[in-house]
Protein backbone atom coordinates (compact mmCIF):
# COMPACT_ATOMS: atom_id res chain seq x y z
CA UNK A 1 0.00 0.00 0.00
CA UNK A 2 1.31 3.45 -0.93
CA UNK A 3 2.00 6.20 1.58
CA UNK A 4 -1.23 8.15 2.31
CA UNK A 5 -1.56 11.47 0.46
CA UNK A 6 -3.25 12.92 3.56
CA UNK A 7 -3.58 11.58 7.08
CA UNK A 8 -5.06 13.15 10.20
CA UNK A 9 -5.54 11.60 13.62
CA UNK A 10 -7.40 12.91 16.63
CA UNK A 11 -10.29 14.05 14.44
CA UNK A 12 -13.81 14.35 15.86
CA UNK A 13 -16.21 12.83 13.31
CA UNK A 14 -19.92 13.50 13.60
CA UNK A 15 -23.05 12.83 11.59
CA UNK A 16 -25.82 15.32 12.19
CA UNK A 17 -25.85 16.07 15.90
CA UNK A 18 -24.38 12.67 16.77
CA UNK A 19 -20.67 12.19 17.46
CA UNK A 20 -19.33 8.98 15.92
CA UNK A 21 -15.82 9.26 17.35
CA UNK A 22 -13.84 11.89 19.22
CA UNK A 23 -10.40 10.68 18.14
CA UNK A 24 -10.93 9.32 14.63
CA UNK A 25 -8.72 9.24 11.58
CA UNK A 26 -9.10 10.71 8.11
CA UNK A 27 -7.00 9.22 5.34
CA UNK A 28 -6.67 9.82 1.60
CA UNK A 29 -4.80 6.98 -0.05
CA UNK A 30 -4.95 5.22 -3.42
CA UNK A 31 -7.72 7.53 -4.64
CA UNK A 32 -10.04 6.86 -1.67
CA UNK A 33 -11.06 8.92 1.33
CA UNK A 34 -11.54 6.87 4.49
CA UNK A 35 -13.09 7.92 7.79
CA UNK A 36 -11.94 5.61 10.59
CA UNK A 37 -12.63 5.25 14.30
CA UNK A 38 -9.80 5.59 16.80
CA UNK A 39 -9.49 1.78 16.66
CA UNK A 40 -9.12 1.77 12.88
CA UNK A 41 -12.61 0.46 12.03
CA UNK A 42 -14.05 2.03 8.92
CA UNK A 43 -16.94 4.45 9.38
CA UNK A 44 -17.26 5.24 5.67
CA UNK A 45 -15.15 5.49 2.53
CA UNK A 46 -15.58 6.61 -1.05
CA UNK A 47 -13.53 7.36 -4.16
CA UNK A 48 -12.10 10.83 -3.72
CA UNK A 49 -13.70 12.01 -7.00
CA UNK A 50 -17.14 11.37 -5.44
CA UNK A 51 -16.37 13.27 -2.21
CA UNK A 52 -17.37 16.88 -1.62
CA UNK A 53 -15.32 18.70 0.99
CA UNK A 54 -16.20 22.20 2.10
CA UNK A 55 -16.09 24.69 4.93
CA UNK A 56 -19.42 25.06 6.77
CA UNK A 57 -20.88 28.55 7.04
CA UNK A 58 -20.73 30.26 10.41
CA UNK A 59 -18.55 27.55 11.95
CA UNK A 60 -15.16 27.79 13.65
CA UNK A 61 -12.09 27.46 11.42
CA UNK A 62 -11.37 23.94 12.71
CA UNK A 63 -14.47 22.43 11.04
CA UNK A 64 -14.92 20.85 7.61
CA UNK A 65 -17.80 19.05 5.92
CA UNK A 66 -17.31 15.87 3.92
CA UNK A 67 -20.11 14.37 1.81
CA UNK A 68 -19.52 10.65 1.22
CA UNK A 69 -22.07 8.29 -0.33
CA UNK A 70 -24.93 10.70 0.34
CA UNK A 71 -24.01 11.20 4.01
CA UNK A 72 -22.69 14.47 5.38
CA UNK A 73 -20.02 14.23 8.07
CA UNK A 74 -18.78 17.10 10.22
CA UNK A 75 -15.04 16.84 10.86
CA UNK A 76 -13.39 18.81 13.63
CA UNK A 77 -9.71 19.08 12.77
CA UNK A 78 -7.33 21.80 13.97
CA UNK A 79 -7.60 25.56 13.62
CA UNK A 80 -4.02 25.63 12.42
CA UNK A 81 -1.38 23.06 11.57
CA UNK A 82 0.50 21.75 14.62
CA UNK A 83 4.09 22.77 15.11
CA UNK A 84 6.63 20.43 13.46
CA UNK A 85 7.10 17.34 15.58
CA UNK A 86 4.01 18.07 17.69
CA UNK A 87 0.91 15.83 17.70
CA UNK A 88 -2.48 17.07 16.61
CA UNK A 89 -4.72 17.15 13.56
CA UNK A 90 -3.84 19.40 10.62
CA UNK A 91 -5.95 22.41 9.75
CA UNK A 92 -9.38 21.88 8.18
CA UNK A 93 -8.25 24.05 5.25
CA UNK A 94 -5.46 21.56 4.51
CA UNK A 95 -7.96 18.67 4.45
CA UNK A 96 -10.19 20.48 1.92
CA UNK A 97 -7.17 21.27 -0.27
CA UNK A 98 -5.99 17.64 -0.09
CA UNK A 99 -9.39 16.32 -1.24
CA UNK A 100 -9.48 18.74 -4.18
CA UNK A 101 -5.88 17.96 -5.15
CA UNK A 102 -6.42 14.18 -4.97
CA UNK A 103 -9.58 14.48 -7.09
CA UNK A 104 -7.77 16.56 -9.69
CA UNK A 105 -9.87 19.67 -9.06
CA UNK A 106 -6.94 21.94 -8.22
CA UNK A 107 -6.18 23.26 -4.81
How does pLDDT run across 26-61, given as a tens digit for each residue? Answer: 999 999 999 999 999 999 999 999 999 999 888 878
* Residue 6 and residue 65 in contact, taking contact as beta carbons nearer than 8 Å: no
- Whether the CB-CB separation of 33 and 42 falls below 8 Å is answered with no
- Whole-model pTM: value is 0.85
Amino acid sequence: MAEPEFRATGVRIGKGLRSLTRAGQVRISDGRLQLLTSYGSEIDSAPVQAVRASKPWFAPDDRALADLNGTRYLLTLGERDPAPGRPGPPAARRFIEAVRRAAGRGG
